[in-house]
Copies of this chain bind each other. A is one copy, B any other.
Amino acid sequence: MTGSAGDLCLGIDLGGTKIALAIVDDEGRVHAERRVETAAAAGAETVIAAMVEAGRALLAGARVPVLGIGVGVAGQVDAVDGVVRSTPNLAGWHDVPLAARLADALGLATVLTNDVHAVALAEQAHGAGRGSGHMAVVFVGTGVGGGVVSGGRLIDGAHGYGGELGHMTLVAGGRPCTCGARGCLEAYVGGWAIALRAQEAVARNPEAGRALVREAGTAEQITAATVDRAAEAGDPLAVELAAETGRLLGHGLVSVVHAFNPRRLVLGGGVIEGMPALVSMAADVVRDQAMAVFLEDLEIVPAELGREAGVVGAACLVRRWARGRARGGTTMAESPATSSEE
């Protein structure tokens, strides 16, 4: 396990609906991959068994030894202990020692991280954050996730939970969020929140909402994608909802800029892909609101890596860990997933 160029790693992206697994080289190229459904309702044991089976098949096909396994999980992951603490998409996953389970079953060192932390590592190594040691990723899908690299290191805090940029406060005491708090960024710009804001706008003004209802079928079926399509077709209410989303996202990004002073801010996820104009709308707000010195060499750009970012980033994670070990560290302090009290 020396982490030399050309070494392969197994990256796994565990989501609520599917598990992606890939053998990835150190230039971020995927050599082989598998995607399997996440049998979320069947519980952790079934899901782990499916990961092990797919992982074993991929490892058997690798022509050179594989360094280790990196796993990105949508949720709060104790990166130090390798334990999935909780995840909104996988009911019943509480304190699952996933790293140990995979390491035992597959015979390789395994490190865990949050899924958007993995994306941040991938975008930094091979995508929109290439060459920048100071970058932040905000992923706007159904939920809103984040990952921050500062001074070349993943900022994940005491346990690995840090970088939860979607749950920074956007409006103190504002709209209720799925996390239990009020006023989180996610509660305004996450896909579920855009849908809810649109449904509320339609209820307030059914006349203005006719195009949205027609597009969705019923008012209750309006989603963020409905808003995208109606906005693209020029529907005034949808255009207004999109503009408001861009403005609110921008105010959220001001927090990220002032907290981390990144050089690159990378926006990705399904909502951004569905409505790419959100990037420039949010960037306008950041340029208007953030302090001038923070803006001088800040670039706000879309993510580049698409759906492979999760597995590539998970592979980056374990590669970094293995390299840290190979450099002779007796602690895991070199691993972005294993920062601990120093």
Contact = CB atoms under 8 A, between A and B. Distances in A.
A227 to B, nearest CB: 19
Interface string A239-250: 000000001100
Given A134-B158, A297-B158, A164 B339 contact: no
A326 B132 CA distance: 27
Interface in A214-248: 247-248
A60 interface: no
Nearest to A134: B158
Given A152-B342, A169-B251, A183-B251, A294 B161 contact: yes
A334 to B, nearest CB: 10
A171 B168 contact: no
Interface stretch (A33-41, A172-180, A197-205): A172-180
Task: Count the copies.
Answer: 2
Contact of A164 (B161, B182, B259): B259
A157 B134 contact: yes
A248 B183 CA distance: 12
A169 B252 contact: yes
Interface residues on A, range: 35 or more
B158 A262 contact: yes
A274 interface: no
A155 B293 contact: no
Nearest to A264: B158
Interface in A47-87: 76, 78, 85-86
A135 to B, nearest CB: 9
Contacts of A169: 168-170, 251-252, 254-255
Given A160-B261, A259-B165, A131 B254 contact: no
A154 to B, nearest CB: 9
Given A157-B261, A254-B181, A85 B248 contact: no
A341 B260 CA distance: 13
Given A340-B133, A341-B134, A156 B291 contact: no
Contacts of A340: 133
Interface of A: 76, 78, 85-86, 131-134, 146, 148, 150-153, 155-165, 167-174, 179-183, 188, 247-248, 251-252, 254-256, 258-263, 289-294, 297, 333, 339-342
5 contacts: A133-B340, A155-B260, A164-B261, A167-B254, A172-B188
